[in-house]
């Protein structure tokens, strides 16, 4: 029994060592070269039981709507996603997010380019929950032309698209130089985007003070959700799966001992 357990542990340890070893190697390779030390935030969504902080996400959406959305799109998101389970405006009373009054109101707040099906004319109409977040610029060239030659990237998966993830996003937002609005310490140089946030820029409905740090945290929470909207259900399923597998492992081990009980090996 002892030797078997030892062997089992050895196998498990070896596999894990192999994976983490490689993982660390890759992470190390991808690290930045600047001297800036990333501030690590203890996010509400960290850890195996982490969930998104709903209030922070809602404030984050406000920051996105009032600040970021003048240049950055969320092209993989529809308005209805805001009311999905795990989303910032999910309400149990509205299992279908298309009925959610918040979602409807937010959608209607945007103008959507459409075609009038009777006349064929190009029209503008208020958004509905089924609409995607619209493009901000007509095309990439126009986007680049109005933003110092660099088109503002889409933000849907931004919280996953840089090494460091959500921490990177937050650090970028709080690391602009006070005198040079384009110089960013976390980026390690001049960015095409000038410092987007300043204290008191938005007025939070819940009375939270809108400091740069607070807004950066909130919008990061929102964009972390936007990049991984199914994280909560994934982690919950993970917990159930791990418990199931652990019990199964114990049962399998007992069966193994029983089947082999009379066999020297």
Partner 1 sequence: MSGHPSTYEPKYAATRWLDQRLPIIRMGADFMTYPSPRNLNYWWTFGGILTLCLVSQIITGIILAMHYVPHVDMAFDSVQRIRRDVPFGWLLQPMHAVGASMFFLAVYIHMFRGLYYGSYKAPREMIWILGCVIYLIMMATAFLGYTLPWGQMSFWGATVITGFFGAVPVVGESLQQWLLGGFSVSNATLNRFFSLHYLLPFVIAGIVGLHVWAMHHAGQNNPIGVEPKSKKDTLSFHPYYTVKDGFAVVLFLLVFAFFVFYQPDALGHADNYIEANPMETPAHIVPEWYFLPFYAILRAVPDKLMGILLMIGAIAVLFVLPWLDTSKVKSMRFRPLARRFFYIFLVACFILGWCGAETPSDMVFTVGQKLGVSDLGGYLASIGAEFPSGENVKFIEDQTRAFTADALAACQSELAAGHALPEYCSQTPQGLNFVWLSRIATFLYFGFFFILPILGLVEKPKERPESITKAVLGEA
Total number of residues binding partner 1 (CB under 8 A)?
Answer: 53
Q: How many CB atoms lie within 10 A of CB 204?
A: 16
Distances from the Cα of 52 to the Cα of 158, 168, 171, 237, angstroms: 17, 18, 19, 16
Applying CB under 8 A, the span of 7-15, 105-113, 180-188, 212-220 interacting with partner 1 comes to: 7-15
Q: What angle do CA 186, 48, 234 make, to 5 degrees?
A: 100
- Asked if 148 is part of the footprint of partner 1 (rule: CB under 8 A), the reply reads no
Query: Contact, 61 vs 88, CB < 8 A?
Result: yes
Task: Using the minimum distance from each CB to partner 1, give the nearer residue, 123 or 246.
Answer: 246
Residue selected from 44, 54, 65, 162 as contacting partner 1 according to rule CB under 8 A = 162
Residue selected from 25, 101, 126, 200 as contacting partner 1 according to rule CB under 8 A = 25
178/111 Cα distance (integer angstroms): 35
Burial readout 2-36 (b: 16 or more C-beta within 10 A, e: otherwise): eeeeeeeeeeeeeeeeeeeeeeeeeeeeeeeeeee
Residue selected from 16, 115, 145, 192 as contacting partner 1 according to rule CB under 8 A = 16
Interface pattern 105-144 for partner 1 (x via CB under 8 A):
----------------------------------------
84/225 Cα distance (integer angstroms): 11
95/85 Cα distance (integer angstroms): 8
- Asked if 161 is part of the footprint of partner 1 (rule: CB under 8 A), the reply reads yes
Positions in the binding site for partner 1 (CB under 8 A): 7-8, 11-12, 14-16, 18-19, 21-23, 25-26, 28-30, 48, 75-77, 81, 153, 156-157, 160-163, 165, 227, 229-230, 233-235, 237-238, 241-242, 245-246, 248-249, 252-253, 255-256, 259-260, 263-265
């Amino acid at each position: 029994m002892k030797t078997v357990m030892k062997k089992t542990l050895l196998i498990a340890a070896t596999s894990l060592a192999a994976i983490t070893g490689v993982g660390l190697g890759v992470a190390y390779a991808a690290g930045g070269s600047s001297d800036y030390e990333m501030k690590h935030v203890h996010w509400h969504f960290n850890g195996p039981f982490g969930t998104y902080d709903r209030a922070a996400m809602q404030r984050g959406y406000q920051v996105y709507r009032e600040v970021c959305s003048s240049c950055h799109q969320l092209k993989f998101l529809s308005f209805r996603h805001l009311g999905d389970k795990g989303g910032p405006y999910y309400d149990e009373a509205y299992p279908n997010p298309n009925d959610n009054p918040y979602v409807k109101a937010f959608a209607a707040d945007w103008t959507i380019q459409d075609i009038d099906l009777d006349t064929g004319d190009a029209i503008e109409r208020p958004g509905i929950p089924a609409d995607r977040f619209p493009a901000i610029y007509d095309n990439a060239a126009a986007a680049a032309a109005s933003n110092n030659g660099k088109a503002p990237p889409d933000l849907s998966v931004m919280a996953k698209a840089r090494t460091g993830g959500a921490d990177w996003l937050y650090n970028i937002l709080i690391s602009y130089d006070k005198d040079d609005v384009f110089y960013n310490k976390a980026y390690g140089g001049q960015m095409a985007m000038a410092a987007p946030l300043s204290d008191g820029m938005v007025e939070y409905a819940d009375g939270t003070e809108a400091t740069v740090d607070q807004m950066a945290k909130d919008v990061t929470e929102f964009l972390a959700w936007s990049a991984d909207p199914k994280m909560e259900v994934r982690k919950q399923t993970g917990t159930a799966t791990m418990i199931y597998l652990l019990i199964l492992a114990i049962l399998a081990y007992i069966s193994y001992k029983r089947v082999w009980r009379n066999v020297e090996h």
